[in-house]
Amino acid sequence: MKMDIITMDDLQQFKTEMLNEMKNILKTNSGTSNKSWLRSAEVRKMLNISPGTLQNLRINGNLPFRKVGGTMFYSREKIEKMMEGK
């Protein structure tokens, strides 16, 4: 059986490489912040509102949307403008 000795420097290097890899994965998977069109669930989470409140925003015309198939999409730009009150 072969045994290798692991030093503290080896562990530190491993830790650094692991953290860098995790950061890259998170950066790749955090596409939500870069998307220009959001689904209903993403909008509800972003605004911290219920499905009924989102429906009221649609019905009242406060939040424009596009329906593709059975899925509703909302423009991130329009949501941000609505939140700013513009």
Count of domains in the chain?
1
Please report which residue ranges of 6-86 form alpha helices under DSSP H.
Answer: 8-29, 40-47, 51-59, 76-84
pLDDT computed for residue 84 by the predictor = 79
pLDDT computed for residue 28 by the predictor = 67
Domain presence at residue 60: yes
What does the alpha-carbon distance between residue 31 and residue 76 come to, in Å, rounded to a whole number?
A: 13
pLDDT tens per residue across all 86 residues of the chain: 788 898 999 999 998 898 888 877 767 655 555 678 999 999 999 899 999 999 999 999 889 999 999 999 999 888 888 887 75
Longest distance between any two alpha carbons in the chain, whole Å: 73
Domain presence at residue 56: yes
What's the domain range around 42?
37-84
What does the alpha-carbon distance between residue 65 and residue 50 come to, in Å, rounded to a whole number?
A: 17
Domain presence at residue 10: no
37 Cβ neighbours under 8 A, 6+ residues apart: 66, 73, 74, 75, 76
